[in-house]
Amino acid sequence: MTTHGARARRREQTRGTLLAESRRLFAERGYGAVGLAEIVQAAAVTKGALYHHFDGKAALFRAVLEQVQQEVARQVAATAEARDDPWDRLTAGCRAFLTASTDPDVQRIMLIDGPAVLGWSEWRAMDEDASARHLAEALTDLMEAGIVTPRPVEPLTHLLSGAMNEAALWLARSTDPRALDDTWAALSQMLEAFRGGA
């Protein structure tokens, strides 16, 4: 391996370690309770190394959030794509999103600290990048199959995405052991109303 290649690999390893350690700390204690000194100590790097990769703590958190959102999106897509029927794909994907949202690490990073640290607009834009495309594709397939009445896909995507995000935010704060089942029952009923209109 060339010297340049070895340096590039070390840089990637350092970045990966910073992401892994900061993710662990943010999930355990929340963004506000974790300082940069603690992150660099846990990652066994210098502050200079951190600033080589990230502008600061907020930029590091943004990268962690993006990682979490992409993982959730992959889980949802894999669950949905395992189904043959387009309606089952939509409902399985929606249920997978709500289920992923009950993971304490996902809740803390993606649903509680994400909007608070980055602001609603940036958090929403990242959420759209991570998951809206899959939802829009599922709705388009349903319309093409005649299962859902054809209508503009973009507003429907935003409506369902908003409903699921609000449900996920509520689940993140709920202590009711039946919260996930109750939320899924309500969302299922709403989804059935779209199918019923076809």
Structurally, how many domains does the chain consist of? 2
Considering the domain architecture, whether residues 42 and 79 belong to the same structural domain is answered as no
Span 160-179, pLDDT tens digits: 998 998 899 888 888 899 99
Is residue 147 included in any domain, yes or no? yes
Question: If you average pLDDT over residues 131-157, what whole number do you get?
Answer: 90
Is residue 198 included in any domain, yes or no? no
Q: For 30-113, where are the alpha helices, taking DSSP H only? A: 36-43, 47-53, 57-81, 86-100, 104-106
- pLDDT for residue 79: 95
Considering the domain architecture, whether residues 125 and 149 belong to the same structural domain is answered as yes
Considering the domain architecture, whether residues 43 and 72 belong to the same structural domain is answered as no
Considering the domain architecture, whether residues 104 and 186 belong to the same structural domain is answered as yes
Considering the domain architecture, whether residues 68 and 148 belong to the same structural domain is answered as yes
Name the residue type at position 139: L
- CA angle centred on 60, ends 57 and 62, rounded to 5°: 110
DSSP run (H or E) holding 183: helix 179-196
Domain with residue 47: its CATH number is 1.10.10.60
Is residue 127 included in any domain, yes or no? yes
Considering the domain architecture, whether residues 34 and 117 belong to the same structural domain is answered as no
Using CA atoms, how far residue 119 sits from 19, 66, 112, 160, in Å, is 21, 14, 11, 21
Considering the domain architecture, whether residues 123 and 139 belong to the same structural domain is answered as yes
The boundaries of the domain holding residue 38 are 1-54
Span 49-107, pLDDT tens digits: 999 999 999 999 999 999 999 999 999 999 999 999 999 999 999 999 999 999 999 99
Span 99-142, pLDDT tens digits: 999 999 999 999 999 999 999 899 988 988 888 888 898 899 99
The encoded tokens of residue 92 equal 């399985």
- pLDDT for residue 1: 58
